[in-house]
Amino acid sequence: MFDEVATPRDVSQLQLPLMGRVDRDASGAWQVVGADGQPSSAARRFLAELSASDCAVSTTRSYAYDLLRWFRFLSAVDVEWRQATRREVRDFVRWFRGSPNPQRDRGTGPGRPAAGTLNPQSGKAYLSNGYAPRTINHALSVTWNLAAAEIISLRYDHELRRLIGHGSAGGEVAGARPTRAGGRLAARVG
């Protein structure tokens, strides 16, 4: 179990492929589109759950971009997302910590302060070139929630099929008993 986690990849030179994109579908919902031009079904289900739970549109969009980055990382290390393990998550964090954040490319012109130095007027530090810890934590949260949502969905589907007697002859509901009102079936759940 720990042997797999003990062998880190060299992610110091890893470049994420610029594949896929985040955009809106015909209904206006955010989606993650893969390199093949098709929306990711796992991301679509996950983002739909977020939207249904009244998350802000900006939250759904942010989660979509984190999923895209996760999928790009997995593509760069040649791992299908459902096969990802703790090793990939750990290496994802290591990649984050060692990579420059392209949105923080401040240029190197004369008079440009170095990243991390203090602004003399505000006293606040200029942002560093890398990713902030909160950005990394947010990406991990999204990644974890996608995996958890898929596991819960699979367990729910399996349990639902078991409860309704999926595949039984005649289509009757497993554990159901006829009621007096019109012979309807009432399934016992739990």
Q: What is the pLDDT of residues 149-163, one digit of tens each?
A: 877 766 655 555 556
Structure-block tokens of residue 186: 């009432």
pLDDT at 118: 87
Q: pLDDT per residue over 135-146, tens digit each? A: 999 999 999 888
Q: How far is CA 184 from the centre of its chain?
A: 42
pLDDT at 127: 79
CB atoms near residue 2 (< 10 Å): 6
User: What is the C-alpha to C-alpha distance for residues 161 and 166, in angstroms, rounded to an integer?
Assistant: 5
What b/e string do you get for 8-33 counting C-beta neighbours within 10 Å, with b at 16 or more?
A: eeebeeeebeeebebeeeeeebbbbb
- DSSP lists the bridge partners of residue 114 as none
Question: 90: closest CA among 32, 149, 144?
Answer: 144
Residue 188: left if φ>0, alpha if ψ -120 to 50, beta else—which one? beta
Contact indicator for 32, 60 with CB cutoff of 8 Å: no
pLDDT at 106: 61
Contact indicator for 71, 31 with CB cutoff of 8 Å: no
| pLDDT value at 58 more than 90 | yes
Highest mean pLDDT among 16-20, 101-105, 175-179: 16-20
Domain ranges of the chain: 2-101+128-163
pLDDT at 28: 92
Contact indicator for 67, 46 with CB cutoff of 8 Å: yes
- Of residues 134 and 116, the one with the higher pLDDT is 134
Sign of CA dihedral 33, 88, 56, 103: negative
